[in-house]
Amino acid sequence: MPDHPLDITTRAVTAGRPAAVPDAPLNVPVTLASTYIAGGEAEYGRYANPSWTAFEDALGDLEGGRCLAFASGMAAIAAVLDLLPAGGRVVAPRHSYTGTIGQLHDSAERGRLSVDLVDITDIAAVTAATEGAACIWIESPTNPALEVADLPAIAEAGRAAGALVVVDNTFATPLAQRPLELGADVVVHAATKAIAGHSDVLMGAAVVADDGRYEALLGIRSLRGAIPAPLEAFLALRGLRTLPVRFERAQATAQALVERLRAHPAIGEVRYPGFGGIVSIVLADAAAADRFIGALTLWRHATSLGGVESTLERRRRWPAEAPTIPEGLVRLSVGLEHPDDLWADLAAALP
């Protein structure tokens, strides 16, 4: 092994592999087992699975912590919120993923937690809300507004207030942002998106630095049972192996498209955080956005993001999307097609 630390793009390929001994498979295989011979560490299929562990070792390595895989991003989010004391107050971005907001509102309605939604870019408002909070929930960039939070400043305020600092790192991925290094306590992922990366898997993950918190989350996962299927874990790890090259390519294409989109007169606003493959554009209204989407032939109209294929959707078509998101906002997930083909399709469909 080289005596310098391996680059994150190398570790995406090497982490979570079996030891290099004769006849060992290069990749940890899919282990279909509901139970194991008694007396070991695993015991039962709801507690442990080697295909999960390989994925967890790899993502934990990239994020710099210990990882637990879940059935979906939402299952990981629910498990992390389960760590909070009853009645605790959660400060979260008003433009968080709709499912996250949905879980928070549901918990509030049932009296489990209380919720304080803030503009995550307004550091004074976030710091003020942090006082007495049980949790600061950060999503950065936010979905689909693509606002970027000052993670180190918010994490410091959260820690000073004794709050659990959680970052949904789905959009940035550990390639662009490693929240545990910036002071966060927990990272959550919809591995469904860029990590698995092929629009064929739902999976989630939580990564923590602290052993006690790892054990607490493992206990919640084992009891609640929101575990991933072994095949999904295998596929998500296979996707993670190519995350760096896919991310770089999607980012380079997104940057090229952003320049052209910004110069187009039909687009009111182009939101792009400067990194990653997600871009939001704002057209005149819902009708203009729907016509544009309907005229495309290469881009596919579908929710979700982070796949190899370019997709897009008008977010306000979902009734649960925040009313502060413009009706004409279309979120683009840039895939791996040639940038000129992607641009030609967009340019032909724009008004």
Ligand X SMILES: *Cc1c(COP(=O)(O)O)cnc(C)c1O
- Nearest approach in angstroms of CB 171 to ligand X is 6
Closer CB to ligand X, 16 or 141, in the complex: 141
Q: How many Cβ atoms from other residues are within 10 Å of residue 118's Cβ?
A: 19
**Active-site residue, selected from the candidate residues 11, 46, 238, 260:** 46
Contact present, 220 and 175 (Cβ < 8 Å): no
Point out which residues bind ligand X (CB under 6 A): 72-74, 97, 99-100, 139, 143, 168, 170, 190, 192-193, 202, 204
- Nearest approach in angstroms of CB 197 to ligand X is 13
Looking at the DSSP bridge assignments, the partners of residue 135 are: 90, 164
Closer CB to ligand X, 66 or 193, in the complex: 193
- Nearest approach in angstroms of CB 141 to ligand X is 9
Closer CB to ligand X, 127 or 251, in the complex: 251
- Nearest approach in angstroms of CB 3 to ligand X is 38
The C-alpha torsion from 154 through 155 and 161 to 165, rounded to 10°, is: 110
| 168 a catalytic residue | yes
SS3 of the chain: the string is CCCCCCCHHHHHHHCCCCCCCCCCCCCCCCCCCCECCCCCCCCECCCCCHHHHHHHHHHHHHHCCEEEEECCHHHHHHHHHCCCCCCCEEEEECCCCHHHHHHHHHHHHCCCCEEEEECCCCHHHHHHHHCCCCEEEEECCCCCCCCCCCHHHHHHHHHHCCCEEEEECCCCHHHHCCHHHHCCCEEEEECCCCCCCCCCCCCEEEEECCHHHHHHHHHHHHHHCCCCCHHHHHHHHHHHHCHHHHHHHHHHHHHHHHHHHHCCCCCCEEECCCCCCEEEEECCCHHHHHHHHHHCCCCEECCCCCCCCCEEEEHHHCCCCCCCCCCCEEEEECCCCCHHHHHHHHHHHCC
Residue nearest to ligand X as judged by C-beta position = 73
Closer CB to ligand X, 275 or 288, in the complex: 275
Q: How many Cβ atoms from other residues are within 10 Å of residue 224's Cβ?
A: 15
Closer CB to ligand X, 164 or 202, in the complex: 202
Closer CB to ligand X, 221 or 288, in the complex: 221
Looking at the DSSP bridge assignments, the partners of residue 154 are: none
| 116 a catalytic residue | no
**Active-site residue, selected from the candidate residues 168, 213, 241, 315:** 168
| 47 a catalytic residue | no
Nearest to 93 by CA among 187, 37, 166, 20: 166
Closer CB to ligand X, 287 or 320, in the complex: 320
| 272 a catalytic residue | no
What's the gap between Cα 5 and its chain centre? 26
Residues identified as active-site: 46, 97, 168, 193
